[in-house]
Every structure is written in structure tokens, then in C-alpha cells.
A and B are shown apart, each in its own frame.
Chain A
Amino acid sequence: MPETSRRADANPKADSTAVEVADLTVAYRDKPVLWDIDLSVPMGVLMAIVGPNGAGKTTLIRSILGLVRPTAGQVRILGKPYAKQRRLVGYVPQRGSVDWDFPTTVLDVVIMGRYGELGWIRRPGAAERRAAEEAIEKVGLTDLADRQVGQLSGGQQQRVFLARALVQDSLVYFMDEPFQGVDATTERAIIDILRTLRDEGKAVIVVHHDLQTVEEYFDWVTLLNVQRIASGPVDEVFTDSNLRAAYGGRAALFSRELAEQRERAKGGDGP
């Protein structure tokens, strides 16, 4: 099926910078959560943000999206401040951040992805409905479109969020732990969709927890622990020494597991 992005003509050159973060510092009262982060993410990459708990991964995304006010620093999306680029940015919050008992259906929630385009007061109509139904089909939830969202499994709820991001039809996506609490099938379905977005030249930035799958799923990675440890293509940056810098002693375990995994990937069943 040919992609008919309504923004095809607005699509910037593949070499332009999707996200540029300079000297970003965020603090809650006097406790720094992020210290002087510099980050530059090109278009056309699928990037993981990894780091231990409390490393500031979610805060980084939230401050890029203007949901957290930074103490210092600048954020640019495709060369302009976020407030001017809202329409070009898609966001998938953590699944646990909303009340799934809310009286609303799958279709309703997915249509919310079009609200930004509609602006204040204007109501969604047939066009929005059609876009939402298409996205729901892409994530394989067509049969559940009229269900109240609380009746879905965790994996299905995550797919609802993903469908909602798809109808935003953005150029730069931020997703906060889209794989949390989902089954293996859903994880595959989600990663396939993220890869499709990347292949269309978009930038997809994902807060990720599972170090085991970083190399398989992503082509870029940012290692974070209050400070930026490293950021760049996975094969250059995702190294034992960087992991140890981000995770401290605990990384020893991870890097051993990773070494075994690489061994297995290279050939045979290992020792």
C-alpha cells in the first residue's frame, strides 16, 4: 500500500536534524534530574533512550515536549522551538499515565490524535474517523474499535496509543516505554510499525528498558544517567564501557549477557 502522508511535501531532507537539545538542565527543587544534556538526533533513525531507573529518561522526553520547564538549555525540533512545531510531533505517554476506566472507546481515543490538527472547538468529523479506523486496522484492533478501553489487555492498550500516534501523522515521534507490559506478539507488531515509520524518513525516539533488545530493534541509542553518557549509532555507542558508565557495577551483568547474546547471534547455539 503506498504511503499517502498528507505531509509528503513538507517532509524535510533526510539529513536535517530532528531533535537538537543543547545544555538542557532540569531540576526538581534543587535536585538535578538532568545535567547539561546535549543531544542531536537526525531524521530517519529509530533511537532508544536507555539508562537505569531515575536516570531522567522520561523527564528528557517531557522537557523536549515542553511538559517540564527546564532550568536551563534549549530544545529545537526540526530547527524551531517545540511550540512552533507541535503539529510535527507525535507523543505516546506511558500507558500507566492515564485512567483506562475513562468512559471512552478505542475509536474515540485514536481520534484524539487528530485533535491537535483540529485546534480549539472544532469537532472531529468523518475524515478524522476514517484516519482513525485506518490506524486501528494497522495495529490490528479493528474488531475492538467500539470497546471501552478498560476492557483491553495491556498490549492492546499500548496498540491503541500507537494507533493514536499514527493518526497524528507526525515527523518526529516520542514514545515512553511502548513495550512495557506487552506480550511478545504485540512487541513484534509495535517494532514493525516503528520500523515502517523510520523507513518513511521519520525520527522515532523511544524510552526503552530492555538492554537485551537494543541492538536488535534500534539503530541509534542514547545512554543516559542524569548526564548524557553517549549518543549515536548503536554499533558505535552501545559498548561495554559506555554501559558500565551508565549503569555502574550492575552493567557487569548486562554486558556478560550481551556478550553471550552476541555470541549466539554470530553462529550456532553457543557453548
Chain B
Amino acid sequence: MSPATEIQILAAVVAVACALPGVFLILRRMALMSDAISHAILFGIVIGFLVVKDLASPVILIAAAATGVLTVTLTELLRRTGRVAEDTSIGLVFPVLFSIGVILISQKAGDVHLDTDAVLLGEIAFAPLDRLEWAGRDLGPRSLWVVGIIGVINLIFILLFYKELKLTSFDPALAASLGFSPIVMHYALMSLTSITAVGAFDAVGSILVVALMVAPPATAYLLTDRLSVMIWLSCAIAIVGAVAGYWLARWLDASVAGCMATMAGALFGLGFLCAPRRGLLALAARRAKQKTSFAVTALTIHLSQHEGTEREVVECRRDHLGEHLGWDKPFADRVLQTAIRTGAVELDNGLMQLTDRGRALARTAFAR
């Protein structure tokens, strides 16, 4: 496999591994927790490295994941004192751990391949250089194996505990009363998020992990009303964003991680505009339609008020429509056309007349 293919596969696998826990993070309104975890794990990575002196050791993965869970626990403890709100306690805990990590790197690990640039942005472009070999055979990039295994763990967890995750996310009180502890599920999800953040850290760095965890699920959320569909859509969007990000980076000669996050954001923007029911455009179209249909009702009420009176010839002239109701001409024409098309109004020699249907419309609107 060429390095280019390997990088794209790695990018896609990282994105999917991040999107899976991300779905539940955003549904539980905990998106920022992923940011906190992805930063705080630096502390664990550095401590782990100082102990074993080997960046490839699984000890580092475990130490970092433990730090993620520690972050969640400390945040929860701080919040429970009742002295600070949850967002404040998140903002207090993770910078402490992150900054200790940064200080330790500059003090103790300055000469190794662990610098602040790599911490912030990752180095997915170099990932193919670090190979996993077994019995003299090349098995591919090491980080692909790490992230792949983490992704599979995430997938198995969600498939096994789909029902429990759904229930504890939607209605924790019912979940607790039925014996499905929301706290247990919370910490399980946070542990997965931590492990995932550690795995993704190598590839995309601590800042951009949050983009991969939040953006694809947030996009999928706009596109569907079903949780299961949302999960699969998140994965698909994550893959598209990752591969598109790679090519954008090639084209711009820029950071791959940066371009992946940019594409994830761009896909969200696209969904935000064009989602069939929740997108801005659909919303605007719906509003316009509502406005017209309300105006048609107003027109039928106006006509019914003057029906059969002597002012009818004045009030109900087509040419006077805009003037009487204070509408500009294009809008008045559009309303009249809709009214005629839906059979509420008929034109008779420039005079607008209600049909039975139009009268019924006016009556029910009045009755409300």
C-alpha cells in the first residue's frame, strides 16, 4: 500500500472511532467533555513516558486513558461541592492537567520525539513511517492498528449496550428506576472517550480530536430522527470528511489534521444549510409557505367581511388588493395566485369572490 492510501485509511478509521462515542456525547450535551479529556490525557502520556521511556509502550495508552477518567471524576467531584457550575469545573480541571503535561514535556522530555507541535496537531502524515512488524513481516502502520482496535472496541460497546446507552441518554431517571445505572454508563462512555482520544491523539493532536468527535454526529443529528441511523450516518460523514480533508491538505500542502477538521466543519455547514427538515433553507421555505398560507386566510377573511356589502366592488377589486391590506404588489399577486390555485377565491371581471371553500376557510380561522 502506498503511504497516501495508508494515511487516508488511517484518517478514516480515526474519524469513525471518534464519531462513535461522539454521537452519545452530543446527545448528552457533553461535547465539551471530549475537549477536556483530549487535553488532559497529555498529562498521562507524559507521566507514562517518563516511567517507561518508550512512546510505543501500551503503558502510555493506559496511563492516558486513566487520566481521561480522572478528569471526568475530578470535574464531577468539583461540581458536586455545589460551589461551581459544571462548565466552570470542566474549565478548571483540564487546563491544570494539560499545563502540567506541557511543563513536564519542556523540562524532562525536550530531546525526544514529543514536542508541543505534535501535541497540538498530531502527525498523521508521518504515521506510515512507524510500522508494526511481526516475525519479520510488515503489518502496516502501528497507529492504524491502535486506532483500529479502539474503533472496534467502540463499535462492540455500542452494539452491545445500544439499548442502555439510549435509555440513560434519553431518560436517566427512568433508567435508574429500572436498574440501569446512569452513572455506570456515564463512566463507561467516558472511559471509551478517553481511550479514543488517546488513540486519535497521535494522529490529529489534542485540539482537533474534539472536531472529529463533535462535528460528524452534529451533522448526522440534523439529518435524521433515529438514533441508529444517526450512528451510521455519523460514521459515513466522518469517512467523507477524513478523505476529503486528506485531499484538501494535498492540494493546499497544509496540515492533514487541520484539513480533516476543516472538512468536518464544512460538512456540518452544508448540513446546517441543506438538511431536508432542520436545515436553514428548509426552514426558510417552510416559513415562506406559512406566511403565504396565512395571508390567504387573511384574504378570505377580508373578502368575507365585505361580501354582499355595497363596498364590495371597492374592497374586493383585484387592483386594490395590495393597497387595502398593505401588501406590496408581488406579494399580493402571489397570495392571490395561491388562493386561486387552492380554490379559495375566484376572479370575476377583476373582482375577487370567495368560493365555498374560501368561506369555510375564513369561518374556521375565525372560530379559532
Do the beta carbons of A112 and B170 come within 8 Å of each other? yes
Q: Which of A115-123, A131-139, A213-221, A260-268 contacts B (4 or more CB under 8 A)?
A: A115-123
Can you list, as one digit per residue, whether each of B172-187 has a CB less than 8 Å from chain A (1) or not (0)? 0111111110000000
Do the beta carbons of B176 and A112 come within 8 Å of each other? no
Chain A: minimal CB distance from B9 (Å): 29
A89-B178 Cα distance, complex, nearest whole Å: 9
Residue among A83, A91, A109, A120 making CB contact with B170, cutoff 8 Å: A109
Known contacts A103-B221, A103-B224: A116-B178 contact under CB 8 Å: yes
Known contacts A103-B221, A148-B225: A93-B164 contact under CB 8 Å: no
Complex contacts, A89 vs chain B, CB 8 Å: 177
A79 at the interface (CB under 8 A from B): no
Do the beta carbons of B171 and A97 come within 8 Å of each other? yes
B227 at the interface (CB under 8 A from A): yes
Do the beta carbons of A86 and B82 come within 8 Å of each other? no
Known contacts A112-B171, A148-B225: A121-B177 contact under CB 8 Å: no
Which of B180, B225, B227 has most A Cβ within 10 Å?
Answer: B225
Residue among A91, A99, A105, A108 making CB contact with B174, cutoff 8 Å: A91
Do the beta carbons of A66 and B177 come within 8 Å of each other? yes
Do the beta carbons of A121 and B173 come within 8 Å of each other? no
Chain A: minimal CB distance from B138 (Å): 38
A148-B169 Cα distance, complex, nearest whole Å: 16
Known contacts A29-B82, A121-B160, A121-B161: A102-B174 contact under CB 8 Å: no
Do the beta carbons of A112 and B27 come within 8 Å of each other? no
Chain B: minimal CB distance from A145 (Å): 13
Residue among A91, A103, A118, A148 making CB contact with B163, cutoff 8 Å: A118
Chain A: minimal CB distance from B208 (Å): 26
Which residue on B lies nearest to A89, using beta carbons? B177
Which residue on B lies nearest to A92, using beta carbons? B174
Known contacts A99-B170, A124-B163: A105-B225 contact under CB 8 Å: yes
Q: Does more than half of chain B's interface fall in helix, strand or loop, or is it mixed?
A: helix
Within 8 A of B (CB), among A70-117: 83, 86, 89, 91, 93, 97-99, 102-105, 108-109, 112, 115-116
A124-B82 Cα distance, complex, nearest whole Å: 39
A253 at the interface (CB under 8 A from B): no
Within 8 A of A (CB), among B65-89: 82
Complex contacts, A62 vs chain B, CB 8 Å: 173
Which residue on A lies nearest to B224, using beta carbons? A103
Residue among B163, B175, B221, B224 making CB contact with A123, cutoff 8 Å: B163
Within 8 A of A (CB), among B294-346: none
B162 at the interface (CB under 8 A from A): yes
Complex contacts, A102 vs chain B, CB 8 Å: 27, 169-170, 227
Known contacts A105-B225, A124-B163: A86-B171 contact under CB 8 Å: no
Chain B: minimal CB distance from A215 (Å): 30
A65 at the interface (CB under 8 A from B): yes
Do the beta carbons of B171 and A98 come within 8 Å of each other? yes
Which of A66, A103, A121 has most B Cβ within 10 Å?
Answer: A103
What number of A residues sit within 8 Å (CB to CB) of B?
Answer: 30
A116-B163 Cα distance, complex, nearest whole Å: 11
Do the beta carbons of B173 and A66 come within 8 Å of each other? no
B142 at the interface (CB under 8 A from A): no
What number of B residues sit within 8 Å (CB to CB) of A?
Answer: 28
Chain A: minimal CB distance from B242 (Å): 23
A30-B174 Cα distance, complex, nearest whole Å: 27
Can you list, as one digit per residue, whether each of B23-34 has a CB less than 8 Å from chain A (1) or not (0)? 000010100000
A1 at the interface (CB under 8 A from B): no
A123-B158 Cα distance, complex, nearest whole Å: 12
Which of B29, B173, B180, B221 has most A Cβ within 10 Å?
Answer: B173
Do the beta carbons of B171 and A103 come within 8 Å of each other? no
Chain B: minimal CB distance from A206 (Å): 16
Do the beta carbons of A116 and B179 come within 8 Å of each other? yes
Chain B: minimal CB distance from A118 (Å): 7
Residue among B161, B170, B178, B221 making CB contact with A104, cutoff 8 Å: B170
Can you list, as one digit per residue, whether each of B3-29 has a CB less than 8 Å from chain A (1) or not (0)? 000000000000000000000000101
A67 at the interface (CB under 8 A from B): yes
A108-B179 Cα distance, complex, nearest whole Å: 19
A-B contact pairs, 21 of them (CB 8 A): A65-B177, A67-B176, A67-B177, A83-B179, A86-B179, A91-B177, A103-B224, A103-B226, A105-B225, A109-B170, A112-B174, A115-B163, A115-B167, A116-B179, A116-B180, A120-B161, A120-B180, A121-B161, A122-B163, A148-B225, A164-B174
Shortest 6 CB-CB contacts between residues of A and residues of B: A116-B178, A148-B225, A93-B173, A91-B177, A65-B177, A98-B171
* 12 additional contacts (CB under 8 A) given A86-B178, A116-B179: A62-B173, A67-B176, A86-B177, A98-B170, A102-B170, A103-B27, A103-B229, A105-B226, A108-B227, A112-B174, A115-B163, A115-B175
Enumerate chain B interface residues (CB-CB to A < 8 A). Answer: 27, 29, 82, 160-164, 166-167, 169-171, 173-180, 221, 224-227, 229-230
